[in-house]
Structure 1
Amino acid sequence: MIRSILSVGGWTLVSRITGFARDVVMAGVMGAGPVADAFVVAFRLPNHFRAIFGEGAFNTAFVPAYAGLSETAEAGAARRFSTRVFTLMLASQIVLLAVALPAMPFVVRALAPGFADDPARFDLAVALTRITFPYLLCMTLVTLLSGILNAHRRFAVAAGAPVLLNLSMLAALGLAFLFPSVAHAAAWGVAVSGVLQLALVWAACRRAGIAPGLGNPSLTDPAMKKFFTVLGPAVIGSAGFQIASFADTIIASYLATGAVSALYYADRLYQLPFGVIAIAAGTVLLPEMSRRIAGGDVAGAHAAQNRAAGFSLALSAPFTVAFLVIPGLIMTALFQRGAFSGEDAARAASVLAAYGLALPAVVLVRSAVASFYARQDTTTPLYASLTAIAINVGLKIVLTGPYGVTGLALATAIGQWVNLALLVGLAWRRGWTAPDRTFGITLVGVAVACLGLTATAVYGLPLAERWMPAGLGFRDLAVLAALGLAGSVVYGALLLATLRLCGLRLRRR
């Protein structure tokens, strides 16, 4: 399982690195002004809907059902099920697209009402969103096909597909002179990438002989009835989380110009460990636990969950320390050039530090929620999510006044910790999770290693700045690289030493 997590995480890392290159180029040519704000809204809108109806809800309902049919039902049952779901998803997305495109001014006004006071920014956001919205149709089908591949333990292609988004946008930005604006170029890059990703995962399914076809989406089929029973609460739960993201964009649209962009750039760095580690672990863990529970191996399912949670936490903790201790250096070194000013970097750094508080919780939530989804219980996570989101959105309104855009990220952090506490508590009470000695030792090791990493960052920063020549180009980037290298050595050494002292040996299984 760990090897599969590393495979998914490795491809996701490539995606995040190319995504970082994309964001650096975007920051240099767009900055964090009105054009960037308009594009961020156009980019976020289809991604919000994708997260609600695609990755968030669909995977939790489809993957356990498909994996269960593959394990226990007669030959061909899983294929028939995937064909029916594929046909239904395609038809529903075509209808949604036909309704949304002419209504886009109303959609943008609902997502970013503050833009209405700036007609030029509002009109640009509407035009860009009409270009990017078909991306949702492609990505919904990509999610379905990726779920099929993951259920058959074919993780690499699905994990690597998002790289095409970044490459497509970089290519479009390189050809920006052919478009009305650089924002139009980026929007067309998003739309084209959806087609490319769909073609890639479809070809992978065809080669493996598991591609769904088009057929009658019979809603009377028992598997389909069960699918929709699970999907309903999952959609509401995913929508609840996205409500918080919608609230971020809505509230930020009323703040000073650049607030939406500050959230975006900080979120991109926050999403790096989340995407590489948490999503990779969750992608592998859900079908693994589903198969084990279907086969009666509950203890094995809990052991897999503990390994995934400990592994995820150990890899993500250094990012938490970095975001909390040196957020200013990170934003300055990575983005401050071209149209992205020092003021933009400082604003985004404050948001990044607040997101750092959320990172441990959001990483562990992906493992904790598998306790329920592997048993096809999407109702309990729904209640936990809605409770956390209610607290989250309420705090956004309260904290934005004194803390501005940073208050939005602080509310997100509190909401994530509430969600994690509810999930773990409910799973523990039902006997659906069983943290073991290995996980406890990992927590101790991570805590000790984080203390050493914090000391390295605090005391190493002035030393690194003193040693780097003042006139050196990319001096901040060189300082960040030096601290990153030293911190990696210190963190890794302390973590391994603590694990060994506590009697835990890392080994391949």
Structure 2
Amino acid sequence: MAKSEDGQKVGSADVKPPAGLLRSSALVGMMTMLSRFLGLARDVVFARFIGAEAGADAFFVAFKIPNFLRRLFAEGAFAQAFVPVLSEYRSKGSVEAVRGLLDRVAGCLGLTLIMLTGLAMLGAPVLTAVFAPGFLDDPIRFPLAADMIRITFPYLLLISMTGFAGAILNSYDRFAIPAFTPVLLNVVLISSAVLAAPYFDPPVMALAWGVLAAGVIQLLFQLPFLMRIGLMPSPKVDWKDDGVKRILALMAPAIFGVSVSQINLLLDTVLASFLPTGSVSWLYYSDRLSELPLGVFAIAIATVILPGLSRQHASEDPEKFARTLDWAVKLVLLIALPAAVALVILAQPILTTLFQYGKTSPADIAMSALSLKAYALGLVAFMLIKVLAPGYFARQDMKTPVKIGVIAMISNMLLNLIFVMPFYFLWNIGHVGLALATSVSAFINMGLLWRGLVKQGVYRSILPWGKTILQLMVANVSMAAVLLWLMAQFTGWSVWGWDERVMALAVICVAGLAVYGLALLLTGVRPKDIRGVR
């Protein structure tokens, strides 16, 4: 049996079990938090150098298309289909079987992505017309977006192979490296905006080349860690391989099941392209902030529980499976509810502190704040979707999530029409209607996922939920009262310098967090209550 450099056996069930779920989630969360904070720094730089003008709209579309597909091919549908199959091979097969699976998946995935990338680069104007039809009559945004898509689209190939490598590392409980890798994207894009942009015409084109460079760097960064555990793939194309066929069969419906929220966000971009200039950027900045708790906490928890749930299902341990899901739901609620309340109350101060510099005006901030509040209303649902979906994927049940995903997606389309028209014609804030429709459809998605797990007998309440809900209500109401009171004490955000803004925001956030934590303690919540299943 092969061994990695740290002495653990590779490709079998004898690998040392992971630490508690809370510890692993905290590790992934810390790495992801570093990436997200650098992502915010990146967006601050974007706001200063490109603002919400035509070039910014064109870049965000060109970046969002491969980034959206990345969430399907990398950490989305592919990962949710690949990890359970790899976990089964790891639990029941030999190291040779594991390596054979990795070789063939690498070959088939790589070939598919190469072909898709080539077609996309050739058809960049068509992609622009499909994903941003409102740009068609714009002599600046349409050709610029098409040119940048040709540069950014190969990022899909590079980052998807990076996601493949990360899925292998996660399956062997090496969570830190895949979680740290996105930091490199933000470092490269910040460097591109600050150092390279002056040498390009238009300057925003430097960001497109930065995306491509970041893809190369992220992939190369992970390869040594695969070599360290002896699982560096040697790509082989074999579509008839049993493991490849199983992953493909699971992946097709998973595209809808895991990525419906991303599809909804992409639909927002399509519709926003018809709205006034700046709408795409306003949604981008607000979506980025709403994704901070989603990425740092919910995705971290989902990343950690999926391999464990897959192993628990393979070993036929339904009690531990249910306990793991119940723990994940409780932990998400402890984080998501205060995050949503804080974002609604502090939307404008946060956006002002981060983005109101250079080319980004107070009017842009006001518009972004409105859509941020709408996204924040759905934050609990967005985060719960991330931890409920693995309850299906770990059992290799992809049909149920796809049905739910289709319902949620159709609901989002209908809600877009219902909300956008009155928001646009009555108040000229159509982008807020888009964000609100996405939030409502997320609750539909989450509710159906929850009901399905309960109906199948997979998820059942183990924790004392009546007491937990009461504790959460007291803590969140207490925190909201403190935040509102402090907001009344701090005025003049738009005229303050960045240091004054940061200091005031820090005081408000620390005070709110302290009150929330104290309220939880006073109502009986203890650290032992949120430790993960071992």
Q: TM-score range by the shorter chain?
A: over 0.9
Find the counterpart in structure 1 of residue 300 from structure 2: 280
- The alpha carbon displacement at 1:243 in A equals 3.3
Q: Which amino acid aligns with 1:177?
A: P
Partner of residue 131 from structure 1, selected from 139, 151, 156: 151
Q: 1:35 to 1:471 in 2, by over 3 A?
A: closer
Contact 1:442 1:499 (C-alpha < 8 Å) held by counterparts: no
Contact 2:326 2:463 (C-alpha < 8 Å) held by counterparts: no
Contact 1:307 1:439 (C-alpha < 8 Å) held by counterparts: no
The question of 1:335 aligning with 2:335 is answered no
Find the counterpart in structure 2 of residue 25 from structure 1: 45
Task: Identify unmatched segments of 5+ residues in structure 2.
Answer: 1-20, 424-429
- The alpha carbon displacement at 1:185 in A equals 1.1
Distance in 2 (alpha carbons) for counterparts of 1:507 and 1:281: 12
Distance in 1 (alpha carbons) for counterparts of 2:404 and 2:462: 24
Find the counterpart in structure 2 of residue 146 from structure 1: 166
Find the counterpart in structure 1 of residue 227 from structure 2: 206
The question of 1:78 aligning with 2:98 is answered yes
Find the counterpart in structure 1 of residue 16 from structure 2: none
Find the counterpart in structure 1 of residue 473 from structure 2: 447
Find the counterpart in structure 2 of residue 178 from structure 1: 199
Q: 1:391 to 1:135 in 2, by over 3 A?
A: same
Q: Could you tell which deviates more after superposition, 48-57 or 334-343?
A: 48-57
- The alpha carbon displacement at 1:357 in A equals 0.7
- The alpha carbon displacement at 1:499 in A equals 3.0
Q: 1:471 to 1:451 in 2, by over 3 A?
A: closer
Q: Which amino acid aligns with 1:74?
A: S
Q: Secondary structure at the match of 2:94?
A: coil
Distance in 1 (alpha carbons) for counterparts of 2:480 and 2:34: 27
Q: Secondary structure at the match of 1:76?
A: helix
Q: Which amino acid aligns with 1:210?
A: L
Q: Which amino acid aligns with 2:504?
A: V
**What is the CA RMSD across the aligned residues, in angstroms?**
1.9
Find the counterpart in structure 1 of residue 515 from structure 2: 490
Distance in 2 (alpha carbons) for counterparts of 1:316 and 1:450: 11
Find the counterpart in structure 2 of residue 429 from structure 1: 455
Q: 1:102 to 1:472 in 2, by over 3 A?
A: closer
Q: Which amino acid aligns with 1:166?
A: N
Partner of residue 325 from structure 1, selected from 345, 366, 372: 345
Contact 1:441 1:499 (C-alpha < 8 Å) held by counterparts: no
Q: Deviations over 1:359-387 (max 9, x none)?
A: 00111111111211110001100101110
Find the counterpart in structure 2 of residue 249 from structure 1: 269
Mapping 1:400-439, distance limit 5 Å: 400-403=420-423, 404-438=430-464
Q: How many residues matched?
A: 506
Distance in 2 (alpha carbons) for counterparts of 1:491 and 1:349: 23
Distance in 2 (alpha carbons) for counterparts of 1:437 and 1:238: 26
Distance in 2 (alpha carbons) for counterparts of 1:189 and 1:149: 26
- The alpha carbon displacement at 1:437 in A equals 2.1
Distance in 1 (alpha carbons) for counterparts of 2:104 and 2:235: 7
Find the counterpart in structure 2 of residue 346 from structure 1: 366
Q: Could you tell which deviates more after superposition, 126-135 or 157-166?
A: 126-135
Distance in 2 (alpha carbons) for counterparts of 1:444 and 1:160: 36
More helix by share: 1
Q: 1:496 to 1:73 in 2, by over 3 A?
A: same
The question of 1:229 aligning with 2:249 is answered yes
Mapping 1:247-326, distance limit 5 Å: 247-326=267-346
Contact 2:261 2:382 (C-alpha < 8 Å) held by counterparts: no
Distance in 2 (alpha carbons) for counterparts of 1:469 and 1:48: 33
Q: Secondary structure at the match of 1:55?
A: coil
Q: Secondary structure at the match of 1:60?
A: helix
Q: TM-score, normalised by structure 2?
A: 0.91
Distance in 2 (alpha carbons) for counterparts of 1:22 and 1:140: 22
Q: Deviations over 1:225-282 (max 9, x none)?
A: 2222211211243564443223111110010000000000001101100000010011
Q: Which amino acid aligns with 1:271?
A: E
Contact 1:453 1:490 (C-alpha < 8 Å) held by counterparts: yes
Task: Identify unmatched segments of 5+ residues in structure 1.
Answer: none
Contact 2:131 2:270 (C-alpha < 8 Å) held by counterparts: yes
- The alpha carbon displacement at 1:98 in A equals 1.4
Contact 2:25 2:301 (C-alpha < 8 Å) held by counterparts: yes
Find the counterpart in structure 2 of residue 499 from structure 1: 524
Q: 1:31 to 1:288 in 2, by over 3 A?
A: same
Q: Deviations over 1:454-493 (max 9, x none)?
A: 1011111112449x99866543333221110110110111
Q: Which amino acid aligns with 2:100?
A: R
Find the counterpart in structure 2 of residue 365 from structure 1: 385
Distance in 1 (alpha carbons) for counterparts of 2:80 and 2:478: 38
Contact 1:306 1:439 (C-alpha < 8 Å) held by counterparts: no
Distance in 2 (alpha carbons) for counterparts of 1:375 and 1:65: 10
Partner of residue 61 from structure 1, selected from 64, 67, 81: 81
Find the counterpart in structure 2 of residue 475 from structure 1: 500
Q: Deviations over 1:184-230 (max 9, x none)?
A: 1111111100011101112211111112112242x333322222221
Q: Which amino acid aligns with 1:189?
A: G
- The alpha carbon displacement at 1:422 in A equals 0.4
Q: Secondary structure at the match of 2:276?
A: coil
Q: 1:497 to 1:507 in 2, by over 3 A?
A: farther
Find the counterpart in structure 2 of residue 16 from structure 1: 36
Q: Could you tell which deviates more after superposition, 224-233 or 354-363?
A: 224-233
The question of 1:193 aligning with 2:214 is answered yes
Q: Secondary structure at the match of 2:310?
A: helix
Q: Which amino acid aligns with 1:312?
A: V
Q: 1:504 to 1:451 in 2, by over 3 A?
A: farther
Q: Could you tell which deviates more after superposition, 301-310 or 420-429?
A: 301-310
- The alpha carbon displacement at 1:137 in A equals 0.3
Q: Secondary structure at the match of 2:233?
A: coil
Q: 1:392 to 1:73 in 2, by over 3 A?
A: same
Q: Secondary structure at the match of 1:101?
A: helix
Q: Which amino acid aligns with 1:25?
A: V
Distance in 1 (alpha carbons) for counterparts of 2:495 and 2:404: 51
Find the counterpart in structure 2 of residue 460 from structure 1: 486
- The alpha carbon displacement at 1:294 in A equals 0.8
- The alpha carbon displacement at 1:87 in A equals 0.3
Q: Which amino acid aligns with 1:344?
A: D
Mapping 1:386-405, distance limit 5 Å: 386-403=406-423, 404-405=430-431
Q: 1:241 to 1:437 in 2, by over 3 A?
A: closer
Identity between Structure 1 and Structure 2 (%): 37
Distance in 2 (alpha carbons) for counterparts of 1:221 and 1:103: 32
